[in-house]
């Protein structure tokens, strides 16, 4: 009997010890669970711009490009400029020499004008002597006027000049088609002078995005080759209605302000503002891919909460989101979120500006 009492006493003591130790062990295990170190930033409601990215080149605007052509057949004897050169009014562009037929046309026009003048003088003398009628005088006057007009037309084309082709005004040589020794018929374009103050951006937009672009939309332009130049504001002037056969893109022309320091032929990056809206915004770093959906983690009371979201307009630093249980001012995890799980304990280090922002932009 005593042995039985001793065994029961020892069992009771062991059970008491086990129950006393168990909670402390579980509490210790609870205390040893990992705590994720994260950084957070607040969600906010504000305007976001829907921007379409495009690339292109700076070109002379149609109203600012002037082609140089001859009004007579000639042979190029000298090319004094090259593409990209800056010229002032009166600078030499080309030297040409008329063909034998062009020279003969000048001689014939001068001779015809001289003979017509002599015929008019003779008709006047006869009319004064009553040897010619007024009709004869009118015919001689008409012949003289026609001969003078033909000579003036030839001289206005430079056909009777020294063959020096000068710049009509200041500009930039954007294209040179002339070559020394080249025979050029009348009307052939020899080169193009573009006004330095009348340039535009020629962009290429994918056909699937072209329907979103409209004349008058604002555009932010920057030069990839000159990152320190900053951005310049422009405006969509024209959207093409056909595809470029070379690139397969739709042409978009953007007017740019004069004096922007652009170079003709310079490559340009453009951000076309196709729309804007007021929405709930999250930092781009807060949005993570999760299988076939996007998610963000928010922090509240030291715990991480996982939220599936739908992503809308994406800007450079922020993205439009929508999802259940999200509101302006919620703290979204932006650093350390790849290691999180729903309900995990976290220690959040909030930036100094991580305050609830519920104000809408005007």
Percentage of the chain lying above the pLDDT 70 cut: 87
Which whole-number Å values give the CA distances from 362 to 24, 47, 130, 249, 277, in the listed order?
Answer: 57, 8, 92, 36, 11
Residues 137, 224 share a domain: no
Strand 74-79 to 183-184 pairing? antiparallel
**Which of the residue ranges 111-120, 209-218, 223-232 would you say has the lowest mean pLDDT?**
223-232
Single pTM value for the model: 0.59
> What's residue 14's pLDDT?
53
User: What is 115-183 written as a DSSP string?
Assistant: HHHHHHHHHHHHHHTTSS-HHHHHHHHHHHHHHHHHHHHHHHTTTTS-SEEE-SS-EEEEEE---TT-E
Which one is predicted more confidently, 186 or 14?
186
Rounded to an integer, the average pLDDT of 264-289 is 90
Asked if the structure places residue 26 within a domain, the reply is no
Can you give the residue range of the structural domain that contains 69? 63-194
**Which of the residue ranges 82-86, 225-229, 231-235, 355-359 would you say has the lowest mean pLDDT?**
355-359
Rounded to an integer, the average pLDDT of 165-190 is 88
Residues 178, 236 share a domain: no
Model confidence at 16, pLDDT cuts 50, 70, 90, reads: low
Rounded to an integer, the average pLDDT of 54-74 is 86
Asked if the structure places residue 304 within a domain, the reply is yes
Asked if the structure places residue 23 within a domain, the reply is no
Asked whether residue 170 carries a pLDDT value surpassing 70, the answer given is yes
Asked whether residue 195 carries a pLDDT value surpassing 70, the answer given is yes
* pLDDT digits 0-9 by tens, 317-352: 889 999 898 999 999 999 888 888 888 898 878 654
Residues 137, 162 share a domain: yes
Rounded to an integer, the average pLDDT of 169-176 is 85
* pLDDT digits 0-9 by tens, 217-273: 999 999 888 878 788 899 999 998 888 888 889 999 999 887 777 887 889 999 999
Residues 253, 189 share a domain: no
């Amino acid at each position: 009997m005593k042995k039985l009492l001793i065994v029961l006493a020892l069992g009771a003591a062991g059970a008491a010890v086990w129950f006393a130790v168990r909670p402390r062990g579980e509490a210790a295990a609870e205390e040893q669970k990992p705590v994720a170190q994260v950084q957070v930033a607040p969600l906010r409601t504000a305007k976001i711009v829907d921007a379409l990215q495009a690339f292109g080149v700076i070109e002379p605007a149609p109203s600012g490009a002037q082609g140089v052509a001859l009004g007579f057949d000639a042979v190029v004897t000298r090319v004094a400029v090259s593409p990209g050169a800056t010229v002032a009014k009166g600078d030499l562009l080309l030297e040409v020499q008329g063909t034998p037929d062009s020279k003969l046309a000048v001689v014939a026009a001068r001779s015809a004008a001289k003979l017509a003048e002599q015929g008019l003088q003779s008709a006047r003398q006869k009319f004064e002597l009553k040897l010619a009628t007024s009709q004869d005088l009118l015919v001689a006057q008409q012949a003289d006027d026609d001969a003078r007009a033909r000579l003036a037309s030839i001289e206005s084309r430079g056909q009777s000049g020294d063959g020096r082709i000068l710049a009509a005004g200041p500009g930039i040589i954007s294209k040179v088609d002339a070559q020394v020794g080249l025979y050029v018929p009348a009307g052939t374009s020899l080169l193009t002078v573009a006004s330095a103050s009348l340039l535009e951006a020629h962009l290429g937009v994918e056909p699937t995005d072209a329907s979103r672009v409209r004349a008058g939309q604002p555009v932010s332009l920057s030069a990839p080759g000159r990152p320190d130049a900053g951005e310049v504001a422009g405006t969509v002037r024209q959207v093409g209605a056909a595809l470029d056969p070379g690139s397969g893109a739709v042409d978009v022309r953007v007017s740019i302000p004069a004096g922007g320091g652009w170079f003709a032929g310079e490559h340009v990056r453009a951000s076309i503002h196709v729309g804007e809206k007021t929405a709930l915004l999250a930092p781009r770093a807060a949005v993570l891919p999760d299988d076939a959906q996007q998610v963000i983690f928010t922090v509240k009371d030291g715990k991480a909460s996982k939220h599936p979201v739908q992503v809308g307009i994406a800007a450079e630093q922020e993205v439009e989101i929508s999802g259940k249980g999200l509101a302006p001012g919620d703290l979204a995890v932006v650093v350390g979120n790849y290691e999180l799980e729903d309900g995990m304990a976290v220690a959040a280090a909030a930036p100094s500006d991580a305050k609830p922002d519920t104000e809408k932009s005007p």
